[in-house]
Amino acid sequence: MTYGETAVRQTVDRLLRDHRDLDAAADGALDSLDQFHIGGAGAVELLIPTLALTPGDVVLDVGSGFGGPARQIARRTGNHVVGIDITPSYVDAARDLTARAGLGDLVQFRAGDIAGFQPDPPFDAAITMHVQMNVRDKTTWFRHIAERLAPGARLALWEVCQPHQADLPWPMPWSLDGTDSFVVSADTLLGSVKDAGFTEVEWTNESTWVQGWITRTFADGLPAGPALPMLLDDGYTRVINYATALADGSLEVWRGCFTKDADQA
């Protein structure tokens, strides 16, 4: 089962004990560990300005994983961020890392499905990074996100798309065997987001940026210290397969910015 790692917090604890030189509270110290998408912290930096946040805005992170993006947004902007994720052990790790970072006042996480989440008041902005590939009915899922946002709120996406139908090498970061993978083309994904009640501000193929990021990040081999694959079952194979599919064009990475339509409830 993908996302079946049950002892993530314990693994984080062991990795940090093995690397006592690392200050988990320092900005960027855990970027190699807690950003569960291609492009790392740099990808989050691309999304932050598109959210057009103002003081007091509260941001929703859907499928928040280990919480790296949520903490980064809070650090950069001072805004409150709420992450929601369906994997309880990931939420447990995200809370632990947030406490270690001293960001507990700004960043909270909850375990569950966006469909059953009833925030009051609605959020002022949202992000979701590398999650919709696990969702079969994307329009309904994005509609659930829209329902949790204020009219005019921004939604920023960082997404994997598949330009042509082709067999992918499994396992991938979001699926161990392909049975829970629902990757679609950029056009199809864009249609689902719009059908859910969002208006496009920007929809950009960032695959070239991603290739540059991979080259820069791994130019001298694997980064030293705790790294994301150490938290995942078959982690290194998943990351290598993903990088290979991006390099040969089987997969692309798209960045989106949308606003929730004013007439959406």
Ligand X SMILES: C[S@@+](CC[C@H](N)C(=O)[O-])C[C@H]1O[C@@H](n2cnc3c(N)ncnc32)[C@H](O)[C@@H]1O
- Nearer CB in complex with ligand X: 20/141: 141
Q: Does 256 bind ligand X (CB under 6 A)?
A: no
Asked if 196 and 146 touch (Cβ cutoff 8 Å), the reply is yes
Q: What is the bridge-based pairing of β-strands 198-205 and 149-161?
A: unpaired
Alpha carbon distances (Å) from 74 to 1, 59, 97, 220, 236: 31, 9, 14, 30, 29
Mark the segment that binds ligand X (CB under 6 A) among 48-56, 81-89, 231-239, 245-253: 81-89
Q: Does 86 bind ligand X (CB under 6 A)?
A: yes
Q: Does 217 bind ligand X (CB under 6 A)?
A: no
Residue 122: asked if its preceding bond is cis (omega within 30°), the reply is no
Asked if 192 and 138 touch (Cβ cutoff 8 Å), the reply is yes
Q: Does 40 bind ligand X (CB under 6 A)?
A: no
DSSP 45-86: HHHGGGG---TT-EEEEES-TTSHHHHHHHHHH--EEEEEES
Asked if 156 and 44 touch (Cβ cutoff 8 Å), the reply is no
Give the nearest distance from C-beta 141 to ligand X in angstroms.
Answer: 6
Contacting residue, 72, 90, 147, 148, with ligand X by CB under 6 A: 90
Smallest Cα–Cα separation from 59: which of 9, 111, 127? 127
Q: Does 156 bind ligand X (CB under 6 A)?
A: no
- Nearer CB in complex with ligand X: 16/44: 44
Q: Does 113 bind ligand X (CB under 6 A)?
A: yes
Q: Does 174 bind ligand X (CB under 6 A)?
A: yes
- Token pair of 197 as six digits: 């009640």
Q: Does 92 bind ligand X (CB under 6 A)?
A: no
Q: Does 143 bind ligand X (CB under 6 A)?
A: no
Q: Does 238 bind ligand X (CB under 6 A)?
A: no
Q: Does 50 bind ligand X (CB under 6 A)?
A: no
Mark the segment that binds ligand X (CB under 6 A) among 65-73, 103-111, 202-210, 239-247: 65-73
- Nearer CB in complex with ligand X: 129/151: 129
Q: Does 123 bind ligand X (CB under 6 A)?
A: no
- Nearer CB in complex with ligand X: 129/251: 129
In the chain, % helix, strand, coil (3-state, to 5) comes to 40, 20, 40
Residues found near ligand X in the complex (CB under 6 A) = 3, 35-37, 62-65, 68-69, 85-87, 90, 113-114, 129-131, 134-135, 173-174
